[in-house]
Structure 1
Amino acid sequence: MGSKAAVVVFAETEPKEAFRGPIVIDRDKSKHLAEMLLGVTSHEMGPLALDLAIWPNNGVVCAASLTGCEVICSRELARHQPSELSEWISSFAGGRDAYAVFMHSAEDWGAFAVWSGGHLLRSVSVNPYSGVIEDVGERIPFEVPFWEGERSVRNEASYSLPFHPIDFGNEALREFFGFILEGREDESCFDPEEVEIPAFRGA
């Protein structure tokens, strides 16, 4: 299915720490999170493994209230300009940091953004057709090898970007959340198939 993601995480500390060790999900708070996005009363459909939950079907919201963070996944969140979410992020954040990763391998598109206390710190979005769609704020250290050509697309000299957006998006998943969908796992990664996130649909 390739790499597809539309995930936003609100966190009091580094979000990947919330996925380490035993995971306890508050079902009532998770349902409330989903309903805040859906705008209607919801019913729980059952959980999805995290690798599927971060790109749920249309009309479905995967949401989890964990110790120290909240996870919300919905295709409705995906933006080619992640900065457009800043007002919504600010209303949800409650002073917490927020991290978003969006990508779709069929579009060859990857994006991520980071907010602190509701204020946008970094937003970047790229695909080979439009080039750099958005590039706001200072680059985060994990990005540097990509922009400096150290992660270039092999055997594609005419590729219009210095790196592949899907590689970029997966590295953002690793950096922020501690897992990837494609690529080489390392000791920092956990298996997203082993974490389940509740899924909700409007009633």
Structure 2
Amino acid sequence: MGSKAAIVAFVAGEPREAFRRASDIDPESSRRLAEKILGGQAQPSGALPLDRAVWPEDGVVCAASFPGVEVVCCRWLAQDRPSDLTGQISRLAEGRNAYGVFMHSITDYAGFAVWAKGSVVRSLSMSSEIGILEDLGSQFAFEEPFWRGEYSVPGDECCVLPFHPIDLANEALREFFGFVLEGDWDDSCFDPEEVNVPVFRAWG
């Protein structure tokens, strides 16, 4: 499967601890959140482990409402330029901060973004062949070793960046949410297979 993800969290503070409260998911609030994405009634359709929920089927939304945090996963969030989502993100955030990570290892595309008060704080998207697609705002501390070339991939002549985009996107997952799909785990990580996220489809 590789690394594929399209996940955004809405939170007053930081979302890193949200999935550690998985037992506190509110089913009804999660359904209402999914309906905002689907634009109509949402039908519950079971649950997926988080490592699969971050890239659900087309037309499917994985949504979870925790105390103080809401998380949505659906493919349409994976835009070439995350800033194009700002209008929708602002509507869904309702004054909260938003953190998003997007990647697709088949096309070597990856990106992440953070919004605050309806505006982009940081948005980065890239592909290994094209390079930078969007680069807005100041770099975060977790990015800096990548730009310095500390995570270069020897022999990867197809990559025009000093690192592989998927590696940086997985680091953004670790930084924002506390898990990775690929890469080394550390003491701050939890196992995404142990967290189940509600799945919703459009009604009818």
- Distance in 2, Cα, partners of 1:22 & 1:53: 13
- Equivalent runs, 1:60-139 vs 2, <5 Å: 60-139=60-139
Distance verdict in 2 for CA 1:124–1:77, change over 3 Å: same
Q: Which runs of 5+ in 1 are unaligned?
A: none
Show the counterpart of 2:140.
140
- Equivalent runs, 1:1-203 vs 2, <5 Å: 1-21=1-21, 23-157=23-157, 159-203=159-203
Deviates more, 1:138-147 or 1:88-97: 88-97
- Distance in 1, Cα, partners of 2:181 & 2:6: 13
Residue by residue over 1:153-181, the C-alpha shift from the partner in whole angstroms, topping out at 9 and shown as x without a partner, is 12225631100011011000000000000
Residue by residue over 1:71-121, the C-alpha shift from the partner in whole angstroms, topping out at 9 and shown as x without a partner, is 000001110100001111111112211001000000011100001121110
Moved runs in structure 1, 4+ residues, more than 6 A?
none
- Distance in 2, Cα, partners of 1:113 & 1:34: 21
- Distance in 2, Cα, partners of 1:7 & 1:131: 22
Q: Which runs of 5+ in 2 are unaligned?
A: none
Alignment check: 8 A CA contact 2:128 2:158 kept: no
- Distance in 2, Cα, partners of 1:49 & 1:152: 31
Q: Tell me the CA shift for residue 22 of structure 1.
A: 5.6
May I ask how many residue pairs the two structures share in their alignment? Answer: 203
- Distance in 1, Cα, partners of 2:11 & 2:31: 18
- Distance in 2, Cα, partners of 1:157 & 1:77: 29
Distance verdict in 2 for CA 1:107–1:22, change over 3 Å: closer
- Distance in 2, Cα, partners of 1:194 & 1:80: 30
Q: Tell me the CA shift for residue 20 of structure 1.
A: 2.5
- For residue 195 of structure 1, what is the amino acid of its counterpart? V
- Distance in 1, Cα, partners of 2:159 & 2:7: 27
- Distance in 2, Cα, partners of 1:143 & 1:3: 18
- Distance in 1, Cα, partners of 2:37 & 2:194: 25
* Matched residue SS, 1:198: strand
